[in-house]
Structures are given as C-alpha cells and as structure tokens.
Amino acid sequence: MTIDLQTLKCGECGSSVLKRTGLNEYTCDHCGSVTLVEDNVSDRLERVLDQVKNEAGRRLAAEETLRQKLMLRNIGIAMIGVLGLVLVWRIVMLFVEPRRPDDARPVVAAVVDRSIPTDGLKLGEPRQVLVGSGSSAQPKLLVVARNETGKPLLRTGIRATYYDGDSKVDERTETLPIYVLEPGESAPVLIDMPSGKNVTRQELQVQKLSGPYNAVQGPRLAFTRVRLVQQGERVRLVGRIDNMRKDAATIGGIDVLVTLFDDAGQVIGFGHGYAQASELKAGAQTSVDVSVARFGRAAVIAAWDYRIGYNTVEASGSRTPVLNAERVIRTAAGPESFNPDLRLGTEDLLAEDSERFDPKDLELLPLVDGRNNIQQRLFLGELVNRSTDAIVLAPGGVISRFAGSKAHGTTNITGLAYLYPGERFPIFLEPQDMERFTSTRIEWKPMRRAALPGPRKPLEVKVSGTKAELGSVLLNFSQRFTYKSVEVTGSVKNPGSAIVGKVRLWVSLRDRNGQLTGFKLVDNLPAIAPGESVPFQVNVEQNGRDFASVTTLYQTE
C-alpha cells in the first residue's frame, strides 16, 4: 500500500482511517493494507494525523456549543411569548371589568363542592311504565328524585342494576332531565330496562354529586303565554318567553321541564325541551314547544307544572347558570283538548287575541254531490273567506262526516298558507262510504290573521284554452268506466321585480250556476323571473255537472 501524503488517504481504497501498527508501519482499517515509510516521513505523518484529529474534535465541540445556544434561545422566546399573552389578557380584563354594571356582576362560587353526600338525593319508589303506544311502547323504570342536600346539584345521574333472582342481568344509567336541580326540587327520570330479559328486582344507586362550577342567584323565568294541549294521546306544552331582565342581560341555554300529575299527585308524564333561540337579548322573545311523554294512559291529567332553567351570557361568550328556588310553577287543571287530526302550529297556539282570525268569517259552502272516475259517490266543497279586510293565515280544520248520529270519517282542510278575502279554496270529501253520508260538522284550528296586502306576491294567471275529453278506466280487469275531463292550458306571468318561486295553482271547473264541478292542484311550476311567464297544462276530471267556466287560485312563497 501507498499513502497519499496530500490527502492522507489509503492508496488502495481511498479510506482516511489510518492507524499506526508498528515502527514506521501504518495499516488501513478499511481494507487492511499495510505501508512502511521512512522515519522522517513517519514522524511527519504522525504530526499530520494528530492535527486532523485535533481539528475534528474542535469542530465537534463548536457544533455542540452552537446547538446548546439555539436551544436556550428557543426556550427564551417561548417564555417571552407566554408572558406576553398573560400580560395582554390582564390588560384586556382591566378595560372590560369596569364596563360591567355592578348589579350584573355574577356571584361566582369560589370552590366547586365535589363532596356532596349522595344520600341527600332521595329516590322515590321506582315503578315500571310503558312509554309510547301500541307495538312501539317501550318499558322504562320511572324514578322521582328529590334534592334534600341543601345545595344545587349539577347533571345528577342514577344507576339502575337489574337482577333475575340473585343473578345480575343488566345495568343502565340515566341523568335527570334538568341541568341544575335546586334544593327542595323533585324531578322524574326514565331509565331504560333490559329488553328480552326477566327482571325480578332492581337496585338504584345515586352517582357522585357535585354543584355547578359557577352560578348566580337571579329572577325566576316564566312563560308570558303558555298552553298545555292534548290531541288524542299526544300532549304538548307551548309557551312564549320574554327576556324582561332589568339589568339588560343576555340570556341563553333556556330549557324547560314539564311534569304531568294525576288527581293523586302521582307523576304520569314529563317532557324536556329547549327554546328555539339559543340566546335572547334584553326585550327579545322566543317560543318553546315541548312534546310530553305520557304513561299511565288511563289516568286523567289533573295538574301540571313547569320550570325554566337558563344562563346569563357574557360578552366574552361565557355562561353562568341562574339559580332560583321558586322557579317551579304549578297549574291545577287539565290540558286543552283538540281534534287529533288538526295540525296545530306553535305560533297559531300562542297568538294573542288581537292576532287571531275569527272562524266565523270562514264559510264552507253547501256540498256538491258528484262521482269520481269509477262512479263512486263524493262531495265537493269550497272554503270561502268572508272577511272584507283580513287574510287568514294557514287556515285549517277537520270536517267530520256523519250518518245520522254515527261518525263516518273525517276530512282535513290543509294545504293553504293563506286565504284572501273573497277567495275560494276547493275541497274533496273522500269517497268513503259516502252513500250513508247525511251531515257534517267542522272543528276549526286556532288561526292567525294578517292585514292587506299580505304575504302573497302578485302574479297574472291566464287561461288560454279548454278542451273537453272522455277517458276510461278498467277496474279489476272486469269493469270499465267512462268519465269526463277537461284539458286546461294557460300561463302564469310575473309582473313584479323579484323572482317568484314555489308557485301552487288550483284550477277549478264550474258549471253554468258557478258551482264547483271538479278541480286539480298544479304544484310543479318552476320559479318565474321578473317579466317572464311560464305555461301550464292540466287535465281536470269533471265530477259534477258539465263545466261552463274555469277559475284559478294561486299561492306563492
């Protein structure tokens, strides 16, 4: 082997890993080649190798020092950033805190009580109930819990362990349907039961109790208007809430618990729901519509109560629960009953007297006897708004049919968003044992009114042509029936300056006396741009006398 004295590398493999292995002898650690050199060359080579080693050691030391300096600098920058954020936060709080009125400053609990004894939550005797109706009814365990700890409780939970004899079969946990349970308050809870398993007994255990993280005493929140409504088996509570706090505080997180009682004071149903608005500024209002689960259906609702929980909302978005020991409001009366087929909207039920439409101004015209396309008997009717200055909003009702004193079905009046003065809305009474039909009775829903010109956007409906036709239908492959129909063509024009969408058009046939003889709804019209018109074509069956004219009724959204 030879050594390149300029680069200090092995002449055989180019490695720079050289090691002195004897007098004037050097070995390459990579390829094992051995080189003998003269004395003076050997001495000089040793000095050069020592210099290389010293330089490598110095370079490593310098790199390690630089790495430590960079690490210290990064740590210092991070600490400065944290201190800066804390300083900015303190400065902002100094500016914000003085702006909050003293009477709006919440009294916040300094320490959260996490050691409330669980025996302070008293549990009533549990009972098994069915929630729901028919085949969809579900077995539940009803437990009423009463807070006797003397402190408000947060999201309290109860665990039920089910046994078949001595064998444990299942375990379920449920929290009370109220965010904070005030001292002295009771609340029911429904706990799921194991399905398909035999249960002979259960053991109840109260979960760990704690108070709210922060809370403030405040005024009771109550409904400014409330109604408990029953339609068949369905029970609802609808109410209106106004934020009338004198400190102009914004409130949020509004939830409502409704409880039903029989005449013995036993819980026979409850429901929990939330306000439509997530936040309510001072002077604003919102509504609540709570569906109440009822059990013990044979029992009559003799009384009911409700309680409203809510938070104050700070400008920063933080929320503080408001406590009030007298928030439960009880009513010793049953619900208002309505026909189960009525569609009752929240706003319709909560309308003030001045907002209501008088149902006396609605008239159902005398029914017209007719036949459908397979010669079954039917009746056509028309709902007329007899008011001269009021629009009825979402008119609706139930027409009950009778054969003597015996009820023979019902017909719902639905589908309208409004009806203007003098307008006629066509109605079919379905062919259901109509041969025995003798009389009708109408039950109107609560309806609201609106002043003219009202919500409808003006359109120009033009009928351009009619064509009488004959059609036939084969029933059960054995009977063929012939019926009359009219093909009506026309157009709908938008004379306004805004796009009109979701147009619904009722096309009615009338005989020479102006009586209804058939109608059909056209609900597939496209949106209409300003100044444009769209055509329509509809085939209307003639159920009564021969038609002599065509009328239309439309609605827009």
Q: Encode 311-326 in three state secondary structure.
A: EEECCCCCEEEEECCC
Same domain? For 204 and 283 the reply is yes
Structure token pair of residue 426? 């066509």
325 & 352 share domain: no
Whole-angstrom distance, CA of residue 314 vs CA of residue 322: 13
Q: Do 40 and 25 form a contact (C-beta atoms < 8 A)?
A: no
In a domain, 104, yes or no: no
Per-residue pLDDT of the chain (557 residues; tens, 9 = 90+): 555 544 556 766 766 667 777 656 667 776 766 665 555 555 555 665 566 556 655 665 566 667 767 676 666 666 776 666 656 566 655 554 444 443 334 444 434 455 799 999 999 999 999 988 777 888 999 999 999 999 999 989 999 999 999 999 999 999 999 999 999 999 999 999 998 889 999 999 999 999 988 899 999 999 999 999 999 989 999 999 999 988 889 999 999 999 999 999 999 999 999 999 999 999 999 999 999 999 877 789 999 999 999 999 998 889 999 999 999 999 999 999 999 999 999 999 999 999 999 999 999 999 999 999 888 888 999 999 999 999 999 999 999 888 877 777 888 998 899 999 999 999 998 766 666 777 889 999 999 999 999 989 999 999 999 999 999 888 888 889 999 999 999 999 999 999 998 899 999 999 999 999 999 999 999 999 999 999 999 999 999 999 999 999 999 97
Read off the CATH number of the domain in which 521 is found.
2.60.40.10
Cβ-contact 517, 545 below 8 angstroms: yes
Instruction: Tell which of 99, 124, 144 closes a domain.
Output: 99
444 alpha-carbon distance from chain centroid: 29
Q: What is the dihedral of CA 349, 351, 356, 362, to 10 degrees?
A: -30
Q: In angstroms, rounded to a whole number, what is the distance separating the alpha carbons of residues 253 and 180?
A: 12
490 and 358 in one domain?
Answer: no
Q: For residues 138 and 251, state if they share a domain.
A: yes
Residue whose entry in the numeric block shows the structure tokens 């609808």 = 238
Same-domain check for residues 398 and 447: yes
Cβ–Cβ < 8 Å for 243, 97: no
Helices then strands, each counted (H, E), the chain: 2, 41
Tell me the C-alpha distance between 158 and 312, whole Å.
28
Task: Give the model's pLDDT for residue 6.
Answer: 46
Which residues, other chains included, contact 312 with Cβ-Cβ below 8 Å and sequence gap of 6+? 104, 106, 216, 218, 249, 250, 251, 319, 320, 322
Do residues 35 and 172 share a domain? no
Residues 304 and 333 in one domain: yes
Residues 401 and 358 reside in one and the same domain: yes
Residue 362 resides in a domain: yes
d(CA 149, CA 117): 8
105, 97 Cβ separation under 8 angstroms: no
Distance of CA 474 to the CA centre of its chain: 47
- 267 and 391 assigned to the same domain: no
pLDDT of 500: 95
Range of the domain at 539: 460-555
Burial 230-259, CB ≥16 within 10 A → b, else e: bbeeebbbbbbbbbebeeebbbbbbbbbbb
Q: Phi/psi class of residue 402: alpha, beta or left (left: φ > 0; alpha: ψ in -120 to 50)?
A: beta
Cα–Cα distance measured from residue 53 to residue 49, given in angstroms and rounded to the nearest whole number: 6
Q: How many CA atoms lie within 13 A of 73 on its CB side?
A: 6
- Cβ atoms of 489 and 535 within 8 Å: the answer is yes
Q: Same domain for 528 and 472?
A: yes
3-state secondary structure of 89: helix
* 254 and 177 part of one domain: yes
- Spatial distance between the Cα atoms of 428 and 372, rounded to a whole number of angstroms: 11
119 and 234 in a single domain? The answer is yes
Domain boundary among 65, 99, 133: 99
Residue 106 resides in a domain? no
The answer to whether residue 402 is domain-embedded is: yes
Report if residue 105 sits inside a domain. no
For residue 431, the model assigns a pLDDT of: 62
State the alpha helices, DSSP H only, in 281-359. Answer: 346-350
Would you say residue 129 lies in a domain?
Answer: yes
Do the beta carbons of residue 321 and residue 262 sit within 8 Å?
no
Cα dist. 235→238, 270, 435, 495, 553 in Å?
10, 10, 36, 46, 36
pLDDT at position 540 is: 97
Last residue of a domain, one of 451, 474, 506: 451
327 belongs to a structural domain: yes
Exposed, middle or buried by CB within 10 Å (0-12, 13-18, 19+), for 451? exposed
The domain total for the chain is 4
